[in-house]
Structure 1
Amino acid sequence: MSTAVIARCSFCAKPNTDVEVLVGGPGVFICDGCVRLCVTVIEGKPADAPMIAPWEHDIPLEQVLQNLAPVSAASSQVQENLAAWVGKARALGGTWSQIGEALGMTRQSAWERFA
């Protein structure tokens, strides 16, 4: 019996079927392998290292272009998760006004986007 792919790691894009543990947060997931990598990076990071966004690093165009597809895939996964959460809210009796307010948009905008 094969396990269904429910979600992918938001960092490495491995599906839940290819990792030992996939931890879920609000619309994002991280696998055990990426958690280990994060711990290694955090433990080895100098305390005075500046925080800069990944796209602000001095990297070649080829690497930037390689990152576009994974970033787009992560965005798609987040949008699918958001739609699923909105569906759950509706199934539990949430109104479009409540959903819109939670998302910082009007009732009409929420309905148009998710109905």
Structure 2
Amino acid sequence: MDLDPSLKFCSFCGDEGRADPPLFGGLGAFICGTCVADFGAALSGDRELRSPPWERMSDPELLGHLWSIQQSAFQAEEFLVEWVDLARSRKLSWTSIGQALGIPRREAQERFSTGAR
């Protein structure tokens, strides 16, 4: 799996990944150290959570974030492909992968087999 942070994006603020502050990965999502600190301060009561940022954005700012959202979606899709590859490397069947994804075996195989990409 690709763990290079420079090729990833924070799924919360859209910043590009770098070593400092680090990106922390989850199941298809990443969060940067700055967002972790901000959310940590809000959760500990040191700072109030503000309204969602899109409520304060102008139309051009909102449009400017569409690219980041698209990149986050691509990133999640790439992560899913890597996990399916991992499942296949463990000899898990297309049937079990399809069941886990809620899709038919054939659809899983067509979507994720190496020849289909």
- What is the TM-score normalised by the length of structure 1? 0.76
Q: Does 1:40 align with 2:45?
A: no
Residues 36-67 of structure 1, C-alpha deviation per residue, up to 9 Å, x if partnerless? 12223443337xx9xx8766x36432122011
Gap change, CA 1:77 and 1:101, over 3 Å in 2: same
Q: Does 1:69 align with 2:67?
A: yes
Partner of 1:111: 109
Gaps in structure 2 of 5+ consecutive residues? none
C-alpha separation in 2, matches of 1:53 and 1:93: 43
Residues 12-36 of structure 1, C-alpha deviation per residue, up to 9 Å, x if partnerless? 3322x34243221111111211101
Higher relative contact order (CA 8 A, sep 6+): 2
* Residue from 76, 79, 88 that aligns with 2:77: 79
Residues 45-96 of structure 1, C-alpha deviation per residue, up to 9 Å, x if partnerless? 37xx9xx8766x3643212201100000100100000000000000011111
Q: Which amino acid aligns with 2:84?
A: V
C-alpha separation in 2, matches of 1:62 and 1:20: 27
Q: Which amino acid aligns with 1:14?
A: E
C-alpha separation in 2, matches of 1:112 and 1:70: 28
Gap change, CA 1:54 and 1:89, over 3 Å in 2: farther
Q: Which amino acid aligns with 1:84?
A: E
Q: Which amino acid aligns with 1:13?
A: D
Gaps in structure 1 of 5+ consecutive residues? none
% identical aligned pairs: 32
* Residue from 99, 102, 110 that aligns with 1:101: 99
Q: Does 1:10 align with 2:2?
A: no
